[in-house]
Amino acid sequence: MSFSREGLGIQRKKKLDRKVGEAPNMGQVARLHRNTTGLRARLRYVGWLPLFLLAFAVFSFGAGVTALALWWTGTSFKPKAIQLHNGPSPRPEPRIKEFPVPDPGILENQINSLLAARTARQLDALVRPSDQRTEEILAKLAALEKADGKVTSVQYTGPVQSRCLQLESVTVNFDSGKNRIALVAPDPAGVWRVDFDAFARHVTTPWSELLSGTAQEGTVRVFTRPDNYYNGRYQNDREWVCFGFASPDHETLMFGYTPRGGKQHLAMAEALRPLGSSGLKRMTLEIRHTGDGDRRQFEIVRVHSDDWAVGDVALDDLMPAPKEAGGEE
């Protein structure tokens, strides 16, 4: 005897007698009428109700297992803070005070006024404090066309990322194919002035004297990148870090070295990190030739800025002291 469900009730199935050759007969099948109520209407749920109950049971079991695993992990293990280096955290970086930036057209006009300046009165309102005397600046402006050619365009090229001071840039192009970058920075009162030392790529000691051995040290403005020329006094790459640098005003490729892990190393690495291994970075460095080795090799004794304009605080003074660096490379 067998049973089958109809709605929520149970009825006895009749035994079907069928002769050979007769078509199968399903017997009496209850009809489900539209808009019916009561037990017969509930027949429509019989198909999906078991699946719903099964899914709910699986979900409840999974949630229980997950909660148990989280509870066990929380009571068995204690999270540890990630150690970036062994020493204390670096000192907070002093925030550069930023001022509203003039419109690009105003900055371009300021550079045009600089190029046309021929008197001290005209110059004083345009430039930041400089290592050069007013007479030297005026002489360089007067000789600019002879050195680089006629100016073909003065174009605003946007803000410059620097940790030392707020900077905006304007590019001056010449008919010779040469160009110069004019960096403009605000003074403490928020008045924007041109950094002429950056525009002139000023060096305190001429390249000819530095490379001939006549002078041993100077502050220079160069393009810098990581390098791997270890030789002579700087042959041990565990003690020294090598950087290549060059000036648009001299054809010689030079090399600078910092003691590994020192403040100058950290400053150079910080400035060059966004560029990777192939980019060139404008930097202002104080270099010194030591010993009788290759005249192209210099020790970098100060890193003044991550660009050709120098702020009130040198870049290497913004770095943590060597004992705080935790051996960071």
The CATH number given to whatever domain includes residue 174 is: 3.10.450.50
Is 185 domain-assigned? yes
Is 294 domain-assigned? yes
**Domain ranges, residue 124:** 104-199
Q: List per-residue pLDDT tens for the chain, 329 residues long.
A: 444 443 333 344 444 454 544 444 544 444 444 444 444 444 444 455 555 556 666 666 666 655 555 455 443 333 333 222 333 334 445 568 899 999 999 999 999 999 999 999 999 999 999 999 999 999 999 999 999 999 999 999 999 999 999 999 999 999 999 999 999 999 999 999 999 999 999 999 999 999 998 999 999 999 999 999 999 999 999 999 999 999 999 999 999 999 999 999 999 999 999 887 678 999 999 999 987 779 999 999 999 999 999 999 999 999 988 764 444 44
Is 175 domain-assigned? yes
Based on the domain organization, do 120 and 191 belong to the same domain? yes
Domain end, chosen from 183, 199, 215, is at 199
Distance CA 168, CA 47 (A): 73
Is 15 domain-assigned? no
Based on the domain organization, do 178 and 213 belong to the same domain? no
In Å, how far from its chain's centre is CA 120?
41
Is 57 domain-assigned? no
Distance CA 106, CA 101 (A): 10
Based on the domain organization, do 302 and 279 belong to the same domain? yes
Domain end, chosen from 156, 176, 199, is at 199
Is 258 domain-assigned? yes
Distance CA 94, CA 266 (A): 16
If you ran DSSP here, which 8-state letter would residue 318 be given?
Answer: G
* 3-state SS class at 297: strand
Number of structural domains found in the chain: 2
pTM of the predicted model, to two decimals? 0.70
Q: Which CATH number does the domain housing residue 256 bear? A: 2.40.50
